[in-house]
Chain A
Amino acid sequence: SQTIHQWPATLVQPVGSPLSLECTVEGTSNPNLYWYRQAAGRGLQLLFYSVGIGQISSEVPQNLSASRPQDRQFILSSKKLLLSDSGFYLCATGDEPNTEAFFGQGTRLTVV
């Protein structure tokens, strides 16, 4: 079965600082990978998704970027954080295009 590792669980960063969140997946190969953000009391917003190494689709214009340097590694980055980047960031993976996704435990980011 698939295992998703996402860290850290909690992060407090000052405005203007860089960000790097990493997600790694075990137990599968060539998965679809997703980054979602959930603001307090809101739904999940799809930020990026990837169907293969180096293939990234961005869903909304924003202050963030994503990279997939290896098959089972997905990285979310920012050069300079904004207050509005605060939220619950979730990495997810799915085996096939039409199957469900499984989530990591998420990173709760607070930008101060």
Chain B
Amino acid sequence: RKEVEQDPGPFNVPEGATVAFNCTYSNSASQSFFWYRQDCRKEPKLLMSVYSSGNEDGRFTAQLNRASQYISLLIRDSKLSDSATYLCVVNNQGGKLIFGQGTELSVKP
């Protein structure tokens, strides 16, 4: 079983749609969690950290369920500029950052 698994893509949605990405992790001792965004042929960039209480940044909401070892990202009112690959990232003990395989999002006009 992979350490971090994400929904397979691609997700093709119209502008204005709400889209949700899911991610599960296998190591119950994982310490911290993040969502990254990667544009085509570019390096990944931090989108947001994921806190136990859930957190929101504008149109983006991240949630963590430690009991189920599950992380989610919700994007409301999708924009064309949201098209990218979204990577779920888990920081395990000892400082290892493990990435999911990514979910591609394509927002269409």
Q: Could you tell me which A residues sit within 8 Å of B by CB distance?
A: 32, 34, 36, 42-44, 46, 49, 51, 57, 59, 88, 90, 92, 94, 97-106, 108
Inter-chain contact B99/A100, CB cutoff 8 Å: no
**For B44, B46, B97, which residue has the most chain A Cβ atoms within 10 angstroms?**
B97
Residue from B87, B97, B100, B102 in contact with A92 in the complex, judged by beta carbons closer than 8 Å: B97
Inter-chain contact A44/B99, CB cutoff 8 Å: yes
A42 to B87, CA, bound (A): 11
Complex interface residues of chain B between 8 and 34 (CB less than 8 A to chain A): 31-32, 34
Inter-chain contact A51/B95, CB cutoff 8 Å: yes
- Say whether, besides A51-B94, A97-B94, A98-B32, A46 and B43 are in contact (CB < 8 Å): no
A100 to B100, CA, bound (A): 15
Inter-chain contact B44/A97, CB cutoff 8 Å: no
- Say whether, besides A43-B87, A43-B102, A44-B87, A101 and B97 are in contact (CB < 8 Å): yes
Minimum CB–CB distance for B61 against chain A, Å: 18
Q: Which residues of B contact A98 (CB under 8 A)?
A: 31-32, 91
Q: Which residues of B contact A92 (CB under 8 A)?
A: 97
Q: Could you tell me which B residues sit within 8 Å of A by CB distance?
A: 31-32, 34, 41-46, 49, 87, 89, 91, 94-102
Inter-chain contact A43/B95, CB cutoff 8 Å: no
Inter-chain contact B97/A46, CB cutoff 8 Å: yes
Residue from B34, B43, B94 in contact with A104 in the complex, judged by beta carbons closer than 8 Å: B43
Inter-chain contact A103/B43, CB cutoff 8 Å: yes
A25 to B107, CA, bound (A): 35
Q: Which residues of B contact A94 (CB under 8 A)?
A: 95, 97
